[in-house]
Amino acid sequence: MPEFEYEADTVLVTGALGSVGRWVVDRLADTGTHVVGVDLEHPDGTRPNAEFWTVDLSDHGLTRETIDQVGADAVVHLAAVADPVSNPDSRVFDNNVTSTYNVLTAAGRSGIDIVWTSSQAAYGTLFGQSAWTPAYLPIDEAHDCRPEDVYGLSKICGEEIAKTVARRDGISVTTIRPATIFGPHRTKRRPHGDDTDLSTDVTDGNFGSYVDVRDVARMVEAALASDHDGHETVLCVADENYLGQPTTEIVEASCGTLPDDCDLEGKQAALSNAKAADLLGWRPEYSTVDQHADAAEPDWV
């Protein structure tokens, strides 16, 4: 029995072999859901309750044909080029925007509900060159998005596509904005509080916010189970920062100041997960304090 009960018998998952997709495939397949995983390659092994298709999602015709032929009850779109540092900007933008347009519009035209992943980069927190100071803390889904990098920009374009599809086709679309994603075998070690040098350990504008990959998979399941109408954006983030220091001190070390509107306590994450609790009934289950290093990685990839 799934933690979050949903009615979809077949779910199509794009980016199924990726660092997040493999965990989503496992979680959904473990509940008995038939998963159709889509990626550019086939996995090395097989997975009960799952089949895998090789599809270039930048091809609109192939994408539409795949969604029509699979006949899924829901689509989970995770495929993206997520590294703007070692990829040309045009590759990141063209791939992410085109594939998101193709997948979401095809699903929408077929009346299929959608869950997909945007990113905290939409705020401008990760790859921008300018100093980034939030207007208020904690940051929620309504905070201004002002990306300077191509990855964050591609996600903003994707969010506008999601809103358009939900509005035009009358389907439910859940946009998930994960914080930095860690996993049980690639988790960045949390520094001890008394050893953390905030002048060097704080390297981006999310102020140590993170989420475990298994909690991302749980949120996908929660979104599939949700009965909300239209488009909703939801942050996916752990309760605390991973740097082990008071979050206000981390913000001051990064920004030089705090916004006037600041309501943070202790090590509370700078990104808010309140809406996820209210809308989806989701709370984070994993933390860097308890890394669950004995968790098995999907072995079929």
Q: What is the mean pLDDT of the chain?
A: 91
Does the pLDDT at position 273 exceed 90?
yes
Inter-CA distances, 62 with 56, 58, 65, 106, Å: 7, 8, 5, 10
Helix (H, G, I), strand (E, B) or coil at 258: coil
The stretch 166-180 carries a mean pLDDT of 97
What residue has token string 């795949």? Answer: 66
State residue 294's pLDDT score.
60
In this prediction, residue 165 has a pLDDT band, given cuts at 50, 70 and 90, of: very high
Neighbour tally for 165: CB within 10 Å = 23
Helix (H, G, I), strand (E, B) or coil at 151: helix
- Tens of pLDDT, residue by residue over 207-225, are 999 999 999 999 999 999 9
What are the structural domain ranges in the chain?
10-181+210-238+271-280
pTM: 0.94
The stretch 181-203 carries a mean pLDDT of 63
For the domain made up of 10-181+210-238+271-280, give the CATH fold: Rossmann fold (3.40.50)
The stretch 79-93 carries a mean pLDDT of 93
In this prediction, residue 195 has a pLDDT band, given cuts at 50, 70 and 90, of: low
Output 284-287 pairs: Cβ under 8 A, ≥24 positions apart.
284/211, 284/212, 284/215, 284/237, 284/238, 284/239, 285/212, 285/214, 285/215, 285/218, 286/184, 286/212, 286/214, 286/215, 286/238, 287/212, 287/238, 287/239, 287/240
The stretch 125-137 carries a mean pLDDT of 80
> What percentage of residues in the chain have a pLDDT greater than 70?
90
Structure tokens at 72: 């899924």
State residue 287's pLDDT score.
82
